[in-house]
Amino acid sequence: MPRIPAVRNRLRDNPVSHPKRVLLAAPRGYCAGVDRAVIAVEKALEHYGSPVYVRKQIVHNIHVVSTLEKKGAIFVDEVGEVPEGSHIVFSAHGVSPAVVQGAADRNLEAIDATCPLVTKVHREAVRFARDDFEILLIGHAGHEEVEGTMGHAPERTTLVNSPADVALLQVKDPDNLVWLSQTTLSVDETMETVRLLRERFPNLHNPPSDDICYATQNRQVAIKKVAEEAELVIVVGSANSSNTVRLVDVALENGARAAYRVDYASEIRQEWLDGVATVGVTSGASVPEVLVQEVLDDLADAGYTDVRQVVTAEEDLMFSLPKELRKDASGQADSRGLGGRTRQLDWQKK
């Protein structure tokens, strides 16, 4: 992935009362589902040539999207915008059955890059709806993942947008309820919502396993640890990335005096660093490591050259590519058949 040319030596090395340092959260950045989705678009371009259409942003990161656009991907909002017979990739956030049907109606060749952990929630929704449960889906209105999940059980799902929604909920049968959630929420806020739900509906059923994914949880645990010691936290990621925005919230709730989200290092402002000895840095699950490295480079210009990793978990999960892409054009198994850590480290090379 090409590096955005940084404007270097922009930040001044002003004195502060303690030695300057950076605490770098780990895990951070790419998760297995994002890695898989991005490779899926690249491989689709290799196999079928440009253009390959992608419904919505493949992952919520403007740098990733603009890089893929330069390689020949065309991002659209709906399948109706795609010429009949074209290849279309569904994003990591997942789609409803109605979208799949819409693509089939236009004879589109669909490649489903939905993260397997989102697909797991879809399957839960279908199963609970089939078993006559009413589903309370904790998530953010308008988020693509929420739209996709609700689309799997539209008649039986009610969205719970925030803890404040709980008091207003109208349900058909308080003894036949189950909660599910978006994969990228704040763990603490979601547990508070569940607590309030259970207060109102004591017989509420739990999902079979956590819906908030491993990557979201791990990044929140790491930034909590960093925020205990950092006066300022910088979170790299895009404004529409739910897990990125949650990292800012979690940092502020766990000790950071200030926390800001940036897409690029060039957005860091000199005044954020006033009087700050310890800066925490992390990135959302859709952020390539090169963007974090640029933040570290700029912070080094400002005197923050002592960088220590705060490691709270190791990640090595990998997912198979979408089945449509597991073989190359000659029908052979592809050596890049997996998304995950190996590939991620490749991309970290400058």
* Axis crossing angle, helix 32-48 with helix 116-130, rounded to the nearest 10: 110
Give catalytic status of residue 46 as yes or no. no
Provide, rounded to whole angstroms, the least separation between the CB of residue 67 and ligand SF4: 18
Contacts of 58 (CB under 8 A, 6+ apart): 37, 38, 40, 41, 64, 65, 68, 73, 75, 89, 91, 92, 113
Closest to ligand SF4 by CB, 177 or 215: 215
- Where does residue 348 rank: exposed (0-12), middle (13-18), buried (19+ CB within 10 A)? middle
In the complex, least distance from residue 278 CB atom to ligand SF4, rounded to whole angstroms: 27
**115: annotated binding-site residue?**
yes
Q: What share of the chain is helix, strand, coil (3-state, %, to 5)?
A: 40, 20, 40
* Spatial separation of the C-alpha atoms in residues 89 and 138, rounded to whole Å: 26
- The reply on whether position 114 binds ligand SF4 by CB under 6 A is no
Among 118, 136, 230, 287, which residue interacts with ligand SF4 (rule: CB under 6 A)? 118
Which positions ≥6 away from 123 have C-beta within 8 Å?
A: none
Pick between residue 211 and residue 231 the one whose CB is nearest to ligand SF4. Answer: 211
Q: Could you tell me how many residues of this chain bind ligand SF4 (CB under 6 A)? A: 15
Pairing of strands 319-320, 338-339: antiparallel
Q: Which stretch binds ligand SF4 (CB under 6 A): 32-40, 45-53, 250-258, 266-274?
A: 32-40
Q: Name which position in 67, 91, 193, 216 contacts ligand SF4 (CB under 6 A).
A: 216
Distance of closest approach, residue 31 Cβ to ligand SF4, in angstroms:
3
Binding mask 167-196 toward ligand SF4 (x if CB under 6 A, else -) reads ----------------xx------------
Nearer to ligand SF4, 51 or 116 (CB): 116
Please choose, out of 19-27, 132-140, 209-217, 291-299, the segment that lies near ligand SF4 by the rule CB under 6 A.
209-217
- The CA–CA distances, whole Å, from 46 to 30, 71, 142, 180 equal 22, 10, 32, 37
Residue among 30, 7, 86, 101 at smallest CA distance from 53: 86
Give residues in contact with ligand SF4 (CB under 6 A).
31-34, 92, 115, 117-118, 183-184, 213, 215-216, 243, 285
Could you tell me which residues are annotated as the binding site for dimethylallyl diphosphate? 60, 93, 143, 241-243, 286
Residues carrying an active site annotation:
145
